[in-house]
Amino acid sequence: MTIAQQLAHYVVTTDLTQIDPEVVDRAKDLCISSLGSAVLGARMKVSGTMARYVRAQGSTAEASVIGFGFGASAQLAAMLNCDSSHCTELEDVAWPEAQYTCCLIPAVFTLGEKLGSSGRDVIEAVIVGFEVAARPGMALSNGGAAARGILSCANVGTLGVAAAASKLMKLDEQTTCAAITLAASVGGGLVRQTGSSAHVIEAGFTARDGIMAAELAALGLGGNPSILEGKAGYFDALGGLPDLALSPGTGSDLRVMAVGQKKYPCCYMLQRIIDCLKDMIESNGIVADAVAEVRVEVNAAFPAIMKYPEPHDVEEARFSLPHVVGATLVGEPMGVSSFSEAKLHDPAILAQRGKVRMIVHDEWGYDQLGAHDRITIELRDGSRIEAVATVARGDASNPLSRAETLEKFDRCVEGLLAPEVQARVASDLETLETIADVRRLMRDLAETTDVATAEMA
């Protein structure tokens, strides 16, 4: 069998009876996180622009647009819902594949609404779809794709969405294989786009195109069944890996267990730096005025993504080491408000940015996340405090609890969902495998309290 055929067999034959309960619980945590982020992200400028675009298409209302109160085709609604989930930069990510959840989870729920899928079906689709995307990403991201400028999470993410959509649509193996091979010809992302609106909406293109691939396959279209492997195949084109082999998991060996949840609305590579800085500041009683310099030592991949020493807008600030360090030094909570337009011009933060120095160690390699970062705070009195940042709270090795995940959800949706709706959605997501039909849940997420002004955010 070709790799596409192997993946199709895996998608069709895998169900919750083969998946350990802790994996199901982790998948539900990720759904809670991703959909909460989508509600909040619908208030942001990029999502508002995309909403105007989607409205102008005049598509049939097959599914709800989260936070906007209108319907669109499943493809367009999924595109916008995934963009909103990504817009906050609170999306969750697995490493080393650098595969994020925002291009998959809202897409699955959106298509599930169109189909009237059960919560059990949605969980299965999320888990197997993420597996199909993540397994090749484990080799591609650090194996050559990122260095070439390919954001593999958007590329192989399209394969994952196509697989998840095929699972929800209950397509057979041949048709699922056709969907996966079609998905290889669409979708895409580039590392250099980080910090721009293009980076945000790449998640939506992944969702739209993955669903499109499954729907076209259901109509009889398909691609070359050997498109993924071999010379000039998909994996060779992305990362120079013509002989890449895959072995999707079951039981407890599934890549959703490798996903780390973000606490801060900025690039994942900054999460452990913020945690480490906060600990250094608190443990040593450091005040911003006493700091002469902050040196952050990083690997060779870091500056290709964290490339905005003087951010000009909110998107750039989420990928700006000086902004993040400066805001942390002055005691910002590092929530959404810490990356607002007002904070870009906050004199207190601006006074700290010039103190931040990035030191790049090429010998540390080009793995996107890398093993660690080294932080040195030099004080005006000549003393020095050093620490090594290796793990953030929320990483897969130090995951957020269900209670912490629900707190994250509540912070995202508070004031945007009516209290009774907020409680109902949280309860539905916690017991997702028992829900007979996800349509009510999605409609709850669409009708936010300030839906009339959403596109002005």
Instruction: State the amino acid at position 333 in one-letter form.
Output: P
> Cα 134 to chain center, whole Å?
12
What does the pLDDT look like over 390-446, one tens digit per residue?
Answer: 999 999 999 999 999 999 999 999 999 999 999 999 999 999 999 999 999 999 999
For the chain, the structural domain boundaries read 3-263+397-456, 268-389
Residue 147: partners with Cβ closer than 8 Å, 6 or more residues away:
301, 366
Under-70 pLDDT residues of the chain: 450-457
CA atoms within 13 A on the CB side of 438: 32
Predicted TM-score (pTM) of the model is 0.96
3-state helix, strand, coil in the chain (%, to 5): 60, 10, 35
Report the pLDDT value the prediction gives residue 452, as an integer from 0 to 100: 41
Tokens read off for 369: 């996340």
Please tell me the CATH superfamily of domain 3-263+397-456, with its number: 2-methylcitrate dehydratase PrpD (1.10.4100.10)
Report the pLDDT value the prediction gives residue 451, as an integer from 0 to 100: 55
Report the pLDDT value the prediction gives residue 457, as an integer from 0 to 100: 39
236-255: b (≥16 Cβ within 10 Å) or e: bbbbebeebebebbbeeebb
Report the pLDDT value the prediction gives residue 448, as an integer from 0 to 100: 85
CB-based burial of residue 51 (10 Å sphere; 0-12 exposed, 13-18 middle, 19+ buried)? Answer: buried
For 257-355, where are the E strands, in sequence order? 259-260, 291-299
What CATH fold (topology level) applies to the domain 268-389? 60s Ribosomal Protein L30; Chain: A; (3.30.1330)
Pairwise CA distance, residues 140 & 348, whole Å: 41
